[in-house]
Amino acid sequence: MLFGFFILTVLGVLMPRGPRSLAMQTMAFCIFAMAYDLCFGYTNQCSLGHSVFFGVGAYGVVLSLLHLQSGILLGLLIAFVAGMVVAFLMGSICVRLTEAYFVIVTALFSAIFHLLSLDMTWLTGGDDGLSVTLPDISVGGVRLSLYDPMTNYYFILVFFLASYLLMRRITEAPLGKVFISIRENEKRAAFLGYDPFRYKLAAFVLSGAFTALAGSIYALTLRYATADLFGLYWSIIPIVWCLIGGVGTLVGPCIGVALMFFFQYYVSAWWTHYLILFGVLILVILRTSRKGLLGYLLGR
């Protein structure tokens, strides 16, 4: 994976502008996908409510820029914390519920947030959304503008790398081991003295916070946020990424994201109805390996 980051660093200079823009967007969604897998793959909580965190993150940064003139870095921090808080509130209600009920209650939250964001146009701009002009970032006396494509690329790459390293640290730490043991056998983990609720909540909150970070970085690359980001679509699509890429890992979901964007960006130009191919691909991958493309490639 680190080799992959090295390649991405080199490619940043070599790539033409088009693919570079695609890579930027893909990296933002990779953060989303990894964050989602923290909850789905590591603790087996199949949430349909992640669009809430995604939208909160996007609006967190856009609204901080518009109303607080907060600057980009502080805006990202605000978005991250907002995602964490919302995930904590939502998680303390949902996480206790078992499978199917958890899925539906999180989906209901996603629907409620979507409806409200459509209605509260004074805050969100509704369907038409809010555009934002990005201020410069000053780090140690150097001023950086995200309107410079190269700066923007490395800016996102840094956050992608940092998120990956942090999440890898979490999953390899004892905390991550508890997550996995809960996924494998919740009762046994409880017997060992780990309160499943607290650990699942922790995974949910971390996942929500990183999802919000992904949302805020995505909003920065679009320079725009819309109520559409709260839609159910953004809750379902991360499951697709995880399952076709490889669930229960951090790299797998990224492969899923790259695959989907490859289809949306390139195949759609050749064939409008590319979703048919994508649907077939989903079925073929699921049929071949329950661990997704990554599991298939690494398997013997």
Partner 1 sequence: MASEVASALLFYLVNGLIWGLIIALIALGLSFIFGVMGIVNMAHGDLYMLGAVFAYWIFSALGNFWLSLLIVPVAIGLLAAPTERLILRPFEGHPAVTMIATAGLSFILQQLVLMTYGGVPKELPMPLQGSFDFLGVAYPLYRLFIAALSLVIIASVWLFLHRTDYGILVRASMQDKEIASAMGINVNTVLVFTFVLGCVLAAVGGVLAAPVTQVFYLMGNDVILLCFIVVIIGGLGSLGGTLVAALVLGGVEGLLAYFLSPTGARAAVFAFMVGVLILRPQGLFGTQRG
Partner 2 sequence: MKRVIRGLLVVGLAVFMVSGWAIAKEPIKIGMLADKTGGLAAYGYSHEKVLKAAVKKINEEGGIVGRPVRLYVEDTESKPSVGALKFRKLVETHGVDFVIDSNSSGIAIACAPVAKELKTPYFPSAGATEISGEKGNRYVFQPCTNVREECKGAASFAVKNIAKKWVTVVVNYAWGWSNEKEFKKYVEQKGGKVLKSIRVPLGTSDWLPYLRKIPREAEAVYFANFGSDFLSFIRDLYAVRPDIKKLGAVYVLSAQDPAKLGPAGEGLYCITSYPTRLEGLNTEYNRKYRSLIGVDPEGLEIGIGKRFVLAYDWAVWESMFLIKAAIERSGWRSRKDTSKVIEALEGMKFKESVEFPQGSGYIRAEDHLAIVDLYIEQIVGGKLKVAARIPAAKGAYPPIVDRTKESF
Binding site for partner 1 (CB under 8 A): 40, 46, 93, 96-101, 103-105, 107-109, 111-112, 115-116, 118-119, 232, 236, 239-240, 243-244, 273, 275-276, 278-283, 286-287, 290
Partner interacting with residue 283 (select from partner 2, partner 1, none; CB below 5-8 Å by kind): partner 1
Choosing from 12, 20, 66, 190, the residue that interacts with partner 2 (CB under 8 A) is 20
Tell me the C-alpha distance between 177 and 170, whole Å: 9
User: How many residues bind partner 2, per CB under 8 A?
Assistant: 39
Nearest CB to partner 2, comparing residues 38 and 217: 217
Q: Applying CB under 8 A, does 18 fall inside the site for partner 2?
A: yes
Q: Quick one: tokens of 252?
A: 């797998």
CB of 252 vs partner 2, minimal distance in Å:
14
Nearest CB to partner 1, comparing residues 126 and 149: 126
Partner interacting with residue 262 (select from partner 2, partner 1, none; CB below 5-8 Å by kind): partner 2
Nearest CB to partner 2, comparing residues 250 and 294: 294
Q: Quick one: tokens of 135?
A: 């201020």
CB of 280 vs partner 1, minimal distance in Å:
7
Nearest CB to partner 2, comparing residues 131 and 185: 131
CB of 21 vs partner 2, minimal distance in Å:
5
Distance of CA 177 to the CA centre of its chain: 22
Residue that is written with structure tokens 């996102």 in the block: 156
CB of 42 vs partner 2, minimal distance in Å:
26
Judge whether 291 and 248 are in contact, CB under 8 Å: yes
Q: Quick one: tokens of 97?
A: 């519920």
Nearest CB to partner 1, comparing residues 119 and 148: 119
Choosing from 70, 226, 235, 249, the residue that interacts with partner 2 (CB under 8 A) is 226
Site residues (vs partner 2, CB under 8 A): 11, 15-22, 25, 118-119, 121, 126-129, 131-133, 147, 218, 222-224, 226, 228-229, 262, 264-266, 268-269, 272-273, 275, 296-297
